[in-house]
Chains A and B, each alone.
Chain A
């Protein structure tokens, strides 16, 4: 059976599964639609949270990123998992006890201010929309590469699928499909990793394989060998740190706080039956996430190793050390066609030289005239991995289905967060407080339908800044949402004025810092300083600034609150109330 047909069958089968689940879980009221009637088992909620959280970026891009960053890629691993500790201990149980539907609703009630609620809604929608564009693009990319259909058709198919189950099922439908999507994506991710770990190290568990010796009988450890291969070709050592320590620290912290502040993730903890379940569910979510996140570094390192050894299969400098272009494996040619892999025979010897021109001083003495792999797209690593390892077609088809599952599940969660903010916070909470539950349900369905169309449109016509706005999503979540919620629970002194001033200050400074280097509203020509380490304040990358934004938020909120009156008694009581699971027995 051809790969294309196999892929259509596997992807089609998963779609039928998602739609079948959706039909079985139609939402009857707003409680079903927003929080699945708070009836989701904590383990299943953990699984759904995992799928919700792990996006096209986690599935497709992260291992590739690590493959080329080496140790520095750890910021993403620690940053995107460490946030769950903050969620589990600082936010989730208390928000569950609060027992309402949205993050902004908590901020609005705790700070007895509709303005605070709308600031939260604005952050939430901006963060979620920027995020969802990436998912839509991810769906389009996977579809077009795997099935040879156009990018646009891919996005439209994705939109229709999400539309069906998110509009009918709301949180209930989304949760149930996310559970199925988790199973698809984790299977698709780990199967190739196991095969590749077996091939390279004889160890079936990738996490252990990464620390094992190579199975070629040399007795050398995989990571040591990788370090050697890379340094011989002038690249930096895989296991060495390249970024400045201060950036590694701040970026990791920003990603952690950002993760804990992202509304579509927090929202998931409203769906479990109890406070106890909210605590445990964060743990289960992290278990399911960690299965992929601890496999990713193995996938990254092994893919890099395979890539390097395919091209440089003999000693550096000897003529037959480099592969002849005429003899490259089939995957090389097929990825060249997509333009994601580019080779140019600079010295005309018919062989490929892949090295770091700055690092390898002796290159000229070998007759090398520059690095000939002029483009190696990082996203290839996961998608091409099964082909590089020579795995059967069904595994390759499965990886496609996994990538689509990851993108769809995250998109659905984000769209639901956007729709909930519009129907519950803006309409019910502010503009139309008198609508009935059934009317609100209707508006949420319209809102999610609208959100899908907007997201699809932006996916088809991505604004030029799409790639950079991820920093913005995390920056917003870290600098505004996370501190506001945390202080709302842990301090009885923070009042409406303090919280609003804090959110605006955190938000403002983070936005300004990002805009100075990336251009105002991401118009490149308006950037005021070049975006490089020499110009960064204290050498801080704009992506890492969320931590500072959060600190400013905390400081301003405290200062302003101390200068103004403490919150009224009913708010003090509300805080007392959310701090314990039940009043008493």
Chain B
């Protein structure tokens, strides 16, 4: 891999990680903690929404996020010809 595309690969990787980290932060620290009171005014079935994010929603998002990242990285590897056999 030439240096230029190596740099590009790394830049795209960082961009993806930053995006995922923002989502990671928003669902847990944002919805589950900082905004928990206003969100609790909304109901999701018998759950108050802020409480749901703190005890359920954030964890579901974490799982989805890792698979999303892993999938995107797989595609990036292919695009740059660095995927493993």
Q: A residues near B, CB below 8 A?
A: 66, 71, 73-74, 77-78, 81-82, 84-85, 88-90, 93, 207-208, 210-213, 221-224, 239, 241, 245, 248-249, 252-253, 274-276, 279-280, 282-283, 286-287, 290, 293-294, 297, 576, 579-585
Contacts and interface: CB of A to CB of B under 8 A. Distances in A.
A78 B32 contact: yes
Given A276-B83, A279-B73, A211 B29 contact: no
A211 B46 contact: yes
B42 interface: no
Which of B6, B13, B46 lies at the interface centre, i.e. has the most chain A CB atoms within 10 A of its CB?
B46
B69 A297 contact: no
A245 B34 CA distance: 7
B28 to A, nearest CB: 5
A71 B51 contact: yes
A582 B66 contact: no
B63 A252 contact: no
Given A78-B54, A89-B21, A239-B51, A213 B46 contact: yes
Given A78-B59, A221-B46, A286-B66, A582 B54 contact: no
A286 B17 CA distance: 18
A199 B45 CA distance: 19
Interface string B13-43: 1000100110010001100111011001000
B82 A580 contact: yes
A402 to B, nearest CB: 20
Contacts of A66: 55
Contact of B56 (A84, A88, A207, A245): A207
B33 A85 contact: no
Contact of B77 (A89, A90, A276): A276
Contacts of A82: 24, 28, 58, 62
- Which size class do B's interface residues fall under? 35 or more
Contacts of B17: 89-90
Contact of A241 (B9, B36, B45): B36
10 contacts: A71-B55, A82-B28, A82-B62, A88-B70, A223-B48, A223-B51, A248-B33, A252-B28, A286-B66, A290-B60
B63 A584 contact: no
B45 A85 contact: no
Contact of A287 (B1, B29, B63): B63
Given A207-B56, A249-B33, A274-B84, A280 B70 contact: yes
A230 B77 CA distance: 54
Nearest to B28: A78
A210 B52 CA distance: 10
B51 to A, nearest CB: 5
Contacts of B62: 81-82, 84-85, 286, 290
Given A89-B69, A584-B1, A576 B6 contact: yes
Contacts of A239: 40, 48, 51
Contacts of B46: 210-213, 221-224
Contact of B47 (A84, A211, A249): A211
